[in-house]
Amino acid sequence: MLEFLVQLLGEFLIQVIGQALVELGMHAMIEPFLKPPNPWVASVGYTLFGIALGFISLLVFPEYLVHSGGLRIANLVITPIAVGTCMAALGAWRIRRGDNALRIDKFAYGYLFALSIAITRFWWAN
């Protein structure tokens, strides 16, 4: 049981840290753009970024951190929800501080991004 919790935590941390790094890069790139992008285009962009980050994570962690098949599916469902919740909390914190929030700071976009990473890792990890 403890091993499963450590594995699940590892998958969660891969996605949260990756997403936080992407968010940091996006905050740096947002200044030149005055008009926000179309939500559908942003959704496709976050999906593609998630897939790309999923493949990059496979270079560092080629093995799936959760070894049981049933637990992999549970991880595929639970981890993106948890990451989306973390991103929504981060967005709320940024707004309370008076900072600009990006689309990824909302649950739906954070969830979509994390789900893209999770599906990529689910499908391609050993």
pLDDT in tens, 10-34: 888 888 888 887 877 676 555 444 4
pLDDT for the residue numbered 79: 93
Tokens standing for residue 25:
């890069």
Q: Which residues of the chain have pLDDT under 50?
A: 31-34
Tokens standing for residue 14:
């891969």
pLDDT for the residue numbered 30: 57
pTM score, whole prediction: 0.75
Domain ranges of the chain: 2-27+38-124
pLDDT for the residue numbered 34: 43
Determine the Cα–Cα distance for residues 46 and 52; give it in Å rounded to an integer: 10
